[in-house]
Amino acid sequence: MKNLIPFILVVLFLVSMNASGQESAFAKAESLFKKEQYKSAKPLFESYLKSNRNDLKTLEYLGDIAGHAKDWDTAIAYYERLVELDGNVANYHYKYGGVMGMKALEINKLRAATMISDIKGAFLKAAELDPKHIETRWALVEFYIQLPGIIGGSEEKAIKYAAELSAISPVDGYLAKGYIAEYNDRPKDAERYYIAAVKEGGSMTCYTKLYEHYEKQGMSAEALATIQEAQEKHKSNNRLHYQLGKVAGQYGIGLDQGIECLNQYIALYSAKDGVPKDWAYLRLAQIYKHKGDKEKAEIWIDKALSSRSDFKEALAEKRIIQAL
């Protein structure tokens, strides 16, 4: 028996080392995921899952990675497994319904119609499990407002979930009601709700919804004023520099300020700003076109095309500039 003790200790040590190694691998994968290095994190999570088949967090991470890559079938499989293992977590049902919805958008209408019941069921279950789950209620608002009435769409039900959003988060409630009004071609109501959202929350999302609404309605002066107000409040947001330049270029108003803002956007640009710099070059060309400065307009439109030779909007703008 004494001779067995060292052997048992060695086995326990090796098991402990293996477990420690697995935990270390998971921690590394999780760190990579949080840095949005999904391709590097994926094989580490997959390896960890082989020894931990029912680990919920690993399944969720792999589902998130598949969703980010728009690999809807794989994401569906991971989230479905999560729902099977623990059906009492609202977020699992929400993500499951979400990726099914994304897949439905990419397949033919007949096949998509067969998925509607499962998508709705997942969202409704998430809403039932968590009375304060904001994302699920947003999903239900969009689900009911976009779905044709003949297969279950209902503005009344969309308004019901917008009301639930209002109770959880007033600003989300205003945004949801604005979305419903805008979708149903009630621009005055949409404007009223988006203004209320700006007053309630004042976030970039609120301002963006309002100035985009004004742009869609051709209300260029109101769009410009909204962006200027947002710029004053969110001074560090570089994206606003582009948006102001965009309005100036499209509508021929606030031209000098537009030039200044676009130059700042280009100087401060990073990938997180979202809009490529060649769009800023295009807007500068449009502004100089409005100012009647053909030479500078041509310089900037050529710069846009040197960045991307098949830039359709820039090619069309170049033809307009050349005709000046």
Note whether 244 and 319 are same-domain residues.
yes
Quick: pLDDT tens for 48-94: 999 899 999 999 999 999 999 999 999 999 999 999 999 999 999 99
Question: Residues 223, 278: one domain?
Answer: no
Structural contact between residues 41 and 65, judged by C-beta atoms closer than 8 angstroms: yes
Same domain assignment for residues 275 and 287: yes
> What is the structure's pLDDT at 47?
92
In a domain, 230, yes or no: yes
Q: Give the model's confidence band at 8: pLDDT under 50 very low, under 70 low, under 90 confident, else very high.
A: low
**Alpha carbon distance 323, 69 (integer Å):** 43
Residue 14 confidence (pLDDT) above 60: no
Residues 176 and 271 in one domain: no
Last residue of a domain, which of 205, 221, 237?
Answer: 237
Q: Are residues 255 and 300 in the same domain?
A: yes
Residue 285 included in any domain: yes
Whether residue 80 is found in the same domain as residue 160: no
Q: 301 with 277, same domain? A: yes
**Sequence-ordered alpha helix ranges (H) in 115-238:** 116-129, 134-146, 155-168, 170-183, 187-200, 204-216, 220-233
- Which one is predicted more confidently, 25 or 41? 41
Residue 257 lies in a domain: yes
Give the pLDDT band (50/70/90) at residue 20: very low
Whether the per-residue pLDDT at 97 is higher than 80: the answer is yes
The pLDDT of residue 18 is above 70 = no
The Cα–Cα gap between 250 and 313 comes to: 12
Q: Do 261 and 217 share a domain, yes or no?
A: no
Contact 199, 175 (CB under 8 A): no
CATH number at residue 303: 1.25.40.10
Confidence of residue 22 (pLDDT cuts 50, 70, 90): low
Residue 92, C-beta contacts closer than 8 angstroms, at least 6 positions apart: 60, 79, 82, 83, 86, 126
Note the pLDDT tens digit of each residue in 241-287: 999 999 999 999 999 999 999 999 999 998 888 899 999 999 999 99
Residue at 18 is within a domain: no
| Average pLDDT across the chain, whole number | 90
What crossing angle do the helices spanning 277-290 and 239-251 adopt, rounded to 10°? 30
Q: Residue 105's pLDDT is what?
A: 87
Say if 72 falls within a structural domain.
yes
Residue range of the domain that includes 230: 149-237
Banded model confidence at residue 108, pLDDT cuts 50, 70, 90? confident
Task: Give the span between the Cα atoms of 243 and 204, in whole angstroms.
Answer: 12
Half-sphere CA count of 218, side-chain side, radius 13 A? 0
212 and 297 share a domain?
no
Single out the residue of 33, 144, 135 nearest to residue 93, CA to CA.
Answer: 135
Residue 322 has which token pair?
């050349």
Cβ atoms of 193 and 185 within 8 Å: the answer is no
150 pLDDT band, cuts 50/70/90, is low
Does 253 share its domain with 322? yes
Q: What is the pLDDT of residue 148?
A: 77
CA torsion 120→122→127→128, rounded to 10°?
110
> How many domains, in total, are found in the chain?
3
Q: Examine the domain organization and report whether 232 and 250 are in the same domain.
A: no
Asked if residue 114 belongs to a domain, the reply is yes
pTM: 0.81
**Would you place residue 23 in the very low, low, confident or very high pLDDT band (cuts 50, 70, 90)?**
low
Q: Which residue, of 177, 206, 237, is where some domain finishes?
A: 237
The burial of 24, by beta-carbon neighbours within 10 Å (0-12 exposed, 13-18 middle, 19 or more buried), is given as exposed
Q: Are residues 229 and 301 in the same domain?
A: no
Tell me, yes or no, whether 66 lies in a domain: yes
- Look at residues 237, 272, 297 and tell me which one is the last residue of a structural domain: 237
